[in-house]
Amino acid sequence: MPHRILDPIDRISEILFGLIMVLTSTNALSVINAGHADVRTMLLGALGCNLAWGVIDGVLYLLGCLNERGRNYLVLRSVQAGTDPDAARTAIADLLPAPVAASLARDDLEAMREKMLTLPEPPRPHVSRDEWLGALGVCLLVYLSTFPVVLPFLFISDAEPALRLSNAIAIALLFLCGYVFAQHSGLRPWRTGVVMVAVGCAMVGVAIALGG
Q: Quick: pLDDT tens for 153-184.
A: 989 888 888 888 999 999 999 999 999 999 99
Taking the CA of residue 34 as centre, how many other CA atoms within 13 Å lie in the half-sphere pointing to its CB? 22
With beta carbons less than 8 A apart as the criterion, state whether 150 and 23 touch: no
The yes-or-no verdict on residue 32 having pLDDT over 80 is no
Domain-embedded: residue 197: yes
- Helix or strand run (H / E) with residue 203: helix 189-209
Average pLDDT over residues 12-29: 89
With beta carbons less than 8 A apart as the criterion, state whether 56 and 14 touch: no
Average pLDDT over residues 187-212: 86
Domain-embedded: residue 1: no
pLDDT confidence of residue 6: 85
Domain-embedded: residue 97: yes
Domain-embedded: residue 185: yes
From the list 198, 153, 177, the residue with the least C-alpha distance to 37 is: 153
From the list 60, 57, 46, the residue with the least C-alpha distance to 17 is: 57
The Cα 72–Cα 85 span in angstroms is 17
* CA dist 197 → 19, 38, 168 (Å): 11, 27, 11
Domain-embedded: residue 2: no
* CA dist 45 → 8, 51, 63, 167, 180 (Å): 28, 10, 27, 17, 29
The Cα 173–Cα 165 span in angstroms is 12
The number of folded domains in the chain is 1
What is the CB neighbour count within 10 angstroms for residue 118? 7
The yes-or-no verdict on residue 198 having pLDDT over 60 is yes
pLDDT confidence of residue 33: 64
Domain-embedded: residue 23: yes
- Provide the pLDDT confidence category of residue 7 given band limits of 50, 70 and 90: confident
The yes-or-no verdict on residue 5 having pLDDT over 80 is no
Classified as helix, coil or strand, 16 is helix
Average pLDDT, rounded, for the chain = 88
The yes-or-no verdict on residue 148 having pLDDT over 70 is yes
Average pLDDT over residues 124-135: 91
- The whole-model pTM stands at 0.83
Identify the domain containing residue 103 by its residue range: 8-209
The Cα 22–Cα 25 span in angstroms is 5
Domain-embedded: residue 31: yes
Domain-embedded: residue 162: yes
pLDDT confidence of residue 203: 86
More confident residue, 162 or 4: 162
- Provide the pLDDT confidence category of residue 193 given band limits of 50, 70 and 90: very high
